[in-house]
Amino acid sequence: MSLQFEIAAESAGAGRSAHLTLPHGVVQTPVFMPVGTAATVKAVPQDVLERLNAEIILANTYHLYLRPGHELIRRAGGLHRFMSWERPMLTDSGGFQVFSLAKLRKISDDGVEFQSHLDGSKHFFSPEHSMEVQIALGADVMMAFDECVETPASWERTKNSMALTHAWAGRSKKYWEEHRHEVPWAREFEDKHQALFGIVQGGMYADLRKESAERLVEMDFPGYAIGGLAVGEPREVTREMIALTLEHLPKDRPRYVMGVGYPDEIEEYAKMGVDMMDCVLPTRAGRHGLLFVREDPNDRTSPVVRMNIKKLEYAEDHGPIDAGCGCMVCARYSRAYLRHLFASGEPLGATLNSIHNLSFYLETMERVRGELASV
């Protein structure tokens, strides 16, 4: 097995706290993974991520394949060495970006032909090629190549797309088994091979989600992801799809919901039994001057409030963003200063806002892990 997953405690609501051991270290779950799209969590240096206790980060295969190119990263000794990050990493398959960013896609059973959103150049991704790129990047966890159906999509269209995803999952796994090799810089674990997760699709249809989960479990992956959610559907539907998919995934494997969500959502899903989540929201919102705070700073379980730092009311507010937040930004800088940085277009504003938001997410998950461990 290319990873170890040991459940430490489980709540009545099926949430669990666990230790996920990967070649580059142990990750305490449930975990939030900051997104490092182009081998950088935008505007936040690696040493700061370490100080925030980010135990695993994500990078995007599609972006790194186009720029600087996976072969360059392979020659650099893999993504860990290239970006100087010694802790665990996960790469996505490139599927989501190919279907959401690239132009003029032509999909066949074999794979997908697309044009780069950067320069219009033509490329082809198949399951095998996605695996090859992810092996070159060398993250601890890689993802099977999947088709991401548009939303909304009919049952028929979703079923056909799901069948393609299953065929591609089988091909991804075969290629991974034949070509996987030890990752560079691994220290923690006797098995230094990359793990491969399968991705459950099935759109917003309960019967298809169940079928997809069952098909993937038959293929026996070290971990499972739930994809194709948080793509514009109402939050109740996201929750329902997660809940029913979890029922069909093995309890002894890590379960990852891709691309969610707001801080209250990640807390809710963690308590339902989701072990891993990622989202660009904390950094993207930070760059737009949106900060997550607690309604009552002294009660870290109180509702999440979005603070828009652009507002005039903060111009001479010399208090911290969130008086109950333990982050390095709240310890040092005022709302007035952050508002000034944002209003002046100073890059430090994006950095500080992103650090606070990431800290907010990571602290939320730390509290949830504590709650799950103490039941």
Sign of the dihedral defined by the CA atoms of residues 162, 167, 171, 177, in that order? positive
Rounded to whole angstroms, the Cα distance separating 165 from 168 reads 5
Query: Can residue 135 be called a binding residue for Zn ion (CB under 5 A)?
Result: no
Q: How far is the CB of 360 from Zn ion (least distance, A)?
A: 6
Q: How far is the CB of 78 from Zn ion (least distance, A)?
A: 32
For 296, 319, 361, 366, the CA distances from 300, given in Å and listed in that order, are 7, 18, 12, 11
Catalytic residue, candidates 47, 278, 296, 322: 278
Q: How far is the CB of 371 from Zn ion (least distance, A)?
A: 21
Single-letter amino acid code for the residue at 276: M
Report the residue number, 45 or 152, with the smaller CB distance to Zn ion. Answer: 45
Rounded to whole angstroms, the Cα distance separating 225 from 174 reads 18
Name the β-bridge partners of 142: 91, 196
Q: How many CB atoms lie within 10 A of CB 197?
A: 28
User: Do the strands 255-257 and 290-294 form a parallel or antiparallel pair, or are they unpaired?
Assistant: unpaired
For 280, 283, 325, the CA distances from 357, given in Å and listed in that order, are 11, 7, 10
Sequential DSSP letters for 123-139: EEE-HHHHHHHHHHHT-
Q: How far is the CB of 322 from Zn ion (least distance, A)?
A: 5
Query: Can residue 325 be called a binding residue for Zn ion (CB under 5 A)?
Result: yes
Catalytic residue, candidates 92, 146, 275, 322: 92
Stretch that binds Zn ion, among 133-141, 221-229, 310-318, 324-332 (CB under 5 A): 324-332
Query: Can residue 44 be called a binding residue for Zn ion (CB under 5 A)?
Result: no
Report the residue number, 122 or 311, with the smaller CB distance to Zn ion. Answer: 311
Report the residue number, 164 or 341, with the smaller CB distance to Zn ion. Answer: 341
Report the residue number, 230 or 330, with the smaller CB distance to Zn ion. Answer: 330
Residues 6+ apart with CB under 8 A from 146: 93, 95, 165, 168, 169, 199, 201, 227
Examine the residue annotation and report whether 278 is marked as an active-site residue of this protein: yes
Stretch that binds Zn ion, among 39-47, 151-159, 244-252, 317-325 (CB under 5 A): 317-325
Q: How far is the CB of 320 from Zn ion (least distance, A)?
A: 7
Q: Among residues 20, 279, 327, 341, which is the contact residue for Zn ion, using CB under 5 A?
A: 327
Q: How far is the CB of 48 from Zn ion (least distance, A)?
A: 12
Report the residue number, 83 or 327, with the smaller CB distance to Zn ion. Answer: 327
Q: What six digits make up the tokens of 212?
A: 């997809």
Report the residue number, 74 or 356, with the smaller CB distance to Zn ion. Answer: 356
Q: How many CB atoms lie within 10 A of CB 117?
A: 15
Give the per-residue contact string, 328-367, with Zn ion (x = CB under 5 A; - = no). -xx-------------------------x-----------
Contact residues toward Zn ion (CB under 5 A) are 325, 327, 329-330, 356
Residues classed as catalytic? 92, 278
